[in-house]
Structure 1
Amino acid sequence: MNQLITAPADIISELTTIQSFLEITMSEDANEAVVRGNDLAVYMSRTGKLIADAKIHREQKLRSQMIQEYKKLLEFPASVAVKYTDTLVENETYSLTWATRLNAACTHQLDWCRTIISKAKAEMSAFNQ
């Protein structure tokens, strides 16, 4: 199963690529919306997988760090211990948050593509009548 999990550096690399794609401003051309929508569907799927992989890395690191920091954690009040453990997995949390936000951005951009395509259909229908 572990060979299916994307390595942390590869997650960052893929997220960077997806981020660059999502930062491109799309025109209101329906053909471009279809092509972009197809790409977005792939990126939605991939970011979903990257979210799962980032969660695995976060949980593994948290487990490992908590074992190392166990004595220190026992000295803290519970609320402080939780905040402290969050600092132990900052990079993993960052990757997870980024993947989650990109997944949401794909969803919103795909909705925009549908809107552009629907608009073009309505304009074609009105023109043909």
Structure 2
Amino acid sequence: MTNHISTIEEISKELKLIQSTIETEMSEDVQEAVDRGNYCAAQMARTGKLLADAKIHRDRKLNSQIIAQMKKLSALPATTANKFADALCEDENYIVNWCERINRACTHQLDWCRTLISKAKAEMSQMNG
């Protein structure tokens, strides 16, 4: 199975698009909730893939930086060495964190959409019954 790993630039570009959509305030219109829910469900899957890609980039950078900085890292206490290693991958860590946060935001928005749809169903039942 060949799996295309998105570049950091591609990941960042997609995250910007998703971010701008999920930052858009939503009304309580049921159709809008359904549409947003469908969008969020799809983006949860997509951001999961982007997150995996971002972690590959971070791991690759970390591995190359650890080799390059082995002498410095070996002289540091373990916790300090870990923080130093994380600092070497600052951009990659940023993208990983951004993917995780957008994925989580989509999850919360999807929950909100379900709530609005349930509310609308309950109101329709009360009106018809």
Q: TM-score range by the shorter chain?
A: over 0.9
Structure 2 unmatched runs, 5+: none
Q: What corresponds to 1:58 in structure 2?
A: 58
Aligned to 1:67: 67
**RMSD between aligned alpha carbons?**
1.2
In structure 2, C-alpha distance between the alignment counterparts of 1:96 and 1:83, rounded to whole Å: 16
| Aligned mates of 1:28, 1:104 — CA distance in 2 | 21
What is the match of residue 14 of structure 1? Answer: 14
**5+ unaligned residues in a row in structure 1: which ranges?**
none
Rounded Cα–Cα distance in structure 1 between residues aligned with 2:60 and 2:25: 37
Correspondence for 2:110:
110
Q: CA deviation at 1:28?
A: 0.3
User: Could you tell me how far 1:2 is from its partner in structure 2?
Assistant: 7.2
CA distance in 2: counterparts of 1:117 and 1:81, whole angstroms: 50
Q: Look up the match of 1:119.
A: 119
Question: Taking structure 2 as the reference length, what is the TM-score of the superposition?
Answer: 0.96
Aligned residue in 2 for 1:80: 80
Instruction: Name segments (4+ residues, structure 1) moved above 2 Å.
Output: none
For 1:3 and 1:33, locate their aligned partners in 2 and report how far apart those are by CA, in whole Å.
33
How big is the shift at 1:82? 1.0
User: In structure 2, do the counterparts of structure 1 residues 61 and 2 end up closer, same or farther at CA, with 3 Å as the change threshold?
Assistant: farther
Aligned residue for 1:44? Answer: 44
Question: How many angstroms does 1:74 deviate by?
Answer: 1.5
Q: Matches of 1:120 and 1:34 in 2, distance apart?
A: 11
Residues matched between the structures, number? 129
- Aligned-residue offset at 1:30: 0.4
